[in-house]
């Protein structure tokens, strides 16, 4: 989640190129800054709120805000993929995990980490690095919003499969390795000699339930 804050922080400071009316911003630039601030605020709330599920939902706002930023930069394809992958799948997975474990309604007194100052330092350092790299790399680049969209699906696809095929394939091999690794790990865990409950048909009932400290006292055996 510190990464989100870092990315959000980076996104708010992007439009600072020279020569392009820094003092007389266009409507799109103003919208970009406002959405960036909103995204940043949502990311801050995500890491500071004491209510776990609220944190996940604020993460939705932050990720959605990033998608709007992509849209404003005319990268339509990237924006929808962002919504599809992050809001539609990653956050759902996150909420699924939260609901399976301890997600009480109201504040969780233990939803605080002793590492938060370290986390803050890491986040600020990551944000500073990203802002520096992005600002240095794209100092004089300016997106022409009036012409043909520079981030349409066609343009993105062409540059991805003409210029960046090797990193793309490398990433896909990496993901495949992660996928195979996850399957191998989950299979190993199953082979441990623990007698399964009679009525369970899935591997859902492995974590012990703590009925006292949660608002949703459910039995997990065979319930899912």
Partner 1 sequence: MNDALDVALRLLVVFVVFLTFPLIVGQTEHKVMAHMQGRLGPMYAGGFHGWAQLVADGVKFAQKEDVVPAGADRRIFQLAPAVALLPYLLVLLAIPIGPGEGAVGEVIDAGIFFVLAVMGVGVLGSLMAGWASANKFSLLGGLRTAAQLLAYELPMLLAAASVAMAAGTVSLPGILDAFEWWWLPWQIVGAVVFFVAGLAELQRPPFDMPVADSEIIFGAYTEYTGLRFALFLLAEYAGIIVLCGLTTVLFLGGWHGPWGADGLGWVWTLLKTAVLAFVVIWLRVTYPRLREDQLQKLSWTLLVPLSLVQIALTGIVKVVIR
Does residue 106 belong to the site contacting partner 1 (CB under 8 A)? yes
Where does this chain touch partner 1 (CB under 8 A) — which range of 2-10, 123-131, 162-170, 209-217? Answer: 209-217
For the bound state, the minimum distance from the C-beta of residue 207 to partner 1, rounded and expressed in Å, comes to: 13
What number of chain residues touch partner 1 (CB under 8 A)? 35
Report DSSP state, residue 209.
P
User: 123-152 mask for partner 1 (x: CB under 8 A)?
Assistant: --------------------------x--x
For the bound state, the minimum distance from the C-beta of residue 64 to partner 1, rounded and expressed in Å, comes to: 8
For the bound state, the minimum distance from the C-beta of residue 56 to partner 1, rounded and expressed in Å, comes to: 9
Q: Is the dihedral of CA 104, 42, 91, 176 positive or negative?
A: negative
CB 22 within 8 A of CB 16: yes
- How many CA atoms lie within 13 Å of 190's alpha carbon, on the beta-carbon side? 10
Nearer to partner 1, 120 or 189 (CB): 189
Distance between CA atoms of 44 and 24, rounded to whole angstroms? 29
Nearer to partner 1, 133 or 178 (CB): 178
CB 5 within 8 A of CB 47: yes
Does residue 173 belong to the site contacting partner 1 (CB under 8 A)? no
Distance between CA atoms of 154 and 119, rounded to whole angstroms? 39
């Amino acid at each position: 989640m510190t990464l989100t804050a870092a990315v959000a922080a980076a996104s708010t400071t992007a439009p600072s190129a020279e020569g392009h009316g820094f003092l007389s911003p266009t409507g799109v630039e103003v919208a970009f800054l406002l959405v960036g601030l909103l995204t940043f605020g949502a990311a801050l709330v995500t890491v500071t709120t004491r209510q776990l599920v609220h944190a996940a939902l604020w993460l939705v706002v932050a990720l959605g805000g990033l998608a709007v930023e992509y849209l404003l930069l005319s990268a339509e394809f990237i924006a929808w993929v962002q919504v599809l992958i992050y809001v539609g799948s990653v956050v759902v997975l996150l909420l699924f995990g939260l609901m399976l474990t301890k997600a009480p309604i109201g504040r969780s007194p233990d939803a605080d980490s002793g590492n938060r100052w370290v986390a803050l330092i890491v986040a600020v350092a990551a944000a500073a690095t990203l802002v520096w790299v992005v600002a240095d790399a794209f100092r004089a680049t300016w997106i022409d919003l009036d012409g043909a969209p520079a981030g349409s699906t066609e343009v993105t696809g062409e540059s991805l499969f003409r210029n960046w095929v090797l990193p793309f394939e490398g990433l896909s091999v990496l993901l495949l390795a992660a996928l195979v690794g996850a399957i191998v790990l989950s299979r190993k865990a199953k082979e441990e000699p623990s007698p399964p409950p009679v009525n369970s048909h899935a591997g859902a009932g492995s974590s012990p339930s703590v009925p006292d400290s949660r608002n949703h006292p459910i039995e997990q055996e065979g319930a899912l």
